[in-house]
Amino acid sequence: MIIGIPKEIKNNENRVALTPGGAAVLREAGHSVIVEAGAGAGSGFSDDEYAKEGAELLPSAAEVWSKAEMIMKVKEPLPAEFGYFREELTLFTYLHLAAEPKLTEALVQHKVTAIAYETIQLPNGGLPLLTPMSEVAGRMSVQVGAQFLEKNYGGRGILLGGVPGVPPADVIILGGGIVGTNAAKMALGLGANVVVIERSAERLRYLDDVFHGRIRTLMSNPYNIANAVQKADLLIGAVLIPGAKAPKLVSEEMVRQMKPGAVIVDVAVDQGGSIATVDRVTTHSAPTYEKHGVLHYAVANMPGAVPRTSTLALTNVTIGYALELAGKGVTRALYGNPPLKLGVNTYQGHVTYPAVAESLGLPYTGLDSLLPIS
């Protein structure tokens, strides 16, 4: 198979879909890897490193998209890339289609087989291709929150961990999954008071055990959320429903009750956001806006700010699935790999992931009814 790696064009997105080491693995398996010149520069990987591993460097994105049978990316295609779509193309990337009606329409119209990293799901419910970026984003949410709490960035002027004789900041985390757990680790490590709000009693018990009671846990309900949000110096939205829009757990009225200069970091913004006042997506070049006296950080590609770490972590988990898709061909790979099957969001002009169809009000078609008989 010919696998194409274009340069990411999203604002300040410095990650790349494949490291030179990943290219070497695919080449050793007998596949061709074509890389747009400069694609790895933001992550610290030179064109020479890719060439050394046998990848072919091409000067433009158009050439990569037109020659590749499967495109591997990091972020969802932007409108400038829709013109590259065609039937028989497989797209393997983060998609978050529940918040992307125009992209979904384009994928369906051009009959692209679109496989989303974030909806590949193991039998135990784990999301293996989303997990490393959730770990990065969870840890970053506390780093950026601590920074924007500084007065010169518009925050309250609070040191997250306080000092002896002065209380630390109150960090409220909505969601106790991978993002929330990693945010709690960082916030606790910096000495903050940490509260995690989660709807699963089993998950709350797990968090209480692993943190040895050093964080507070609350069951998710409107009453607990409203009371906790009012006390927050830093509020982190860490809610995920695979493939679907994030539920709005924090109302605008709750935000109005927050302390002046408090900070919100909504990691769920790429799924529509879990906080009502997160009504726009920001970028690394202009990451925040103020509403009701509260600073909002709503960058949809947070791990793009630490691209070296993120690219290495992403390739670690995507390479096995890429080898399967390339080695067996898409159809055979899907038959033999149920978690990979769950990653297919569009196929032959149909939306094949139910949460995406429901979120966008589009018809849903089960993938099994579209695949050829094995």
332 and 244 co-located in one domain:
no
pLDDT above 80: residue 241? no
134 among annotated binding-site residues: yes
Nearest to 219 by CA among 193, 241, 195, 199: 199
Together in a domain, 143 and 238 = yes
Band the pLDDT of 141: cuts 50, 70, 90.
Answer: very high
Q: Which of 31, 233, 270, 350 is catalytic?
A: 270
pLDDT digits (tens, 9 = 90+) for 3-24: 999 999 998 899 999 999 999 9
- Of 297, 329, 360, which marks where a domain is finished? 297
pLDDT at 128: 95
227 domain-assigned: yes
Residues 137 and 216 in one domain: yes
Asked, for residue 103, whether it belongs to a domain, the answer is yes
Last residue of a domain, one of 297, 322, 345: 297
**pLDDT tens-digit series, residues 110-133:** 999 999 999 999 999 899 999 999
How many folded domains does the chain comprise? Answer: 2
Could you report the per-residue pLDDT of 153-198, keeping only the tens digit for each?
A: 999 999 999 999 999 999 999 999 999 999 999 999 999 999 999 9
**Residues written for the chain:** 374
Residue 25 has pLDDT above 90, yes or no: yes
On whether both 51 and 199 belong to a single domain, the answer is no
Backbone angles phi, psi at 178, to 5 degrees: -65, -45
Q: Per the domain annotation, does 229 fall within a domain?
A: yes
Domain that holds residue 239: 133-297
Q: Which two tokens stand for residue 293?
A: 């006296």
268 among annotated binding-site residues = yes
Question: Is there a catalytic annotation at residue 270?
Answer: yes
**Predicted confidence (pLDDT) at residue 372 exceeds the cutoff of 90:** no
- The residue out of 279, 297, 315 marking a domain boundary is 297
CA distance 322 to 290: 41
Is position 302 annotated in a ligand binding site? Answer: yes
Query: Do 97 and 140 belong to one domain?
Result: no
Same structural domain for residues 139 and 118? Answer: no
Q: What's the CATH number where 284 sits?
A: 3.40.50.720
Q: What confidence tier does 374 reach under pLDDT thresholds 50, 70, 90?
A: low
- Which of 96, 110, 296, 350 is the catalytic position? 96
Same domain flag for 11 and 107: yes
Find out whether 343 and 119 touch, Cβ atoms under 8 Å: yes
Residues 179 and 121 placed together within one structural domain of the fold: no
Q: How many CA atoms lie within 13 A of 136 on its CB side?
A: 20
The mean predicted confidence, pLDDT, of the chain is 95
Share of the chain above pLDDT 90, in %: 93
Q: In degrees to the nearest 10, what's the CA dihedral of 118, 354, 271, 14?
A: 30
In a domain, 330, yes or no: yes
25 is in an annotated binding site: no
280 is in an annotated binding site: yes
Shared domain check, 291 and 237? yes
Mean pLDDT for 347-361 is 95
198 is in an annotated binding site: no
In a domain, 157, yes or no: yes
Q: Is residue 334 part of a domain?
A: yes
Q: State whether 343 and 232 are in the same domain.
A: no
User: Does a structural domain hold residue 374?
Assistant: no
The 10s digit of each residue's pLDDT in 245-266 is 788 999 999 999 999 999 999 9
Model confidence over 76-97: pLDDT tens digits?
A: 999 999 999 999 999 999 999 9
Same domain, 354 and 321: yes
Asked if 207 and 256 sit in the same domain, the reply is yes
CA atoms within 13 A on the CB side of 144: 25
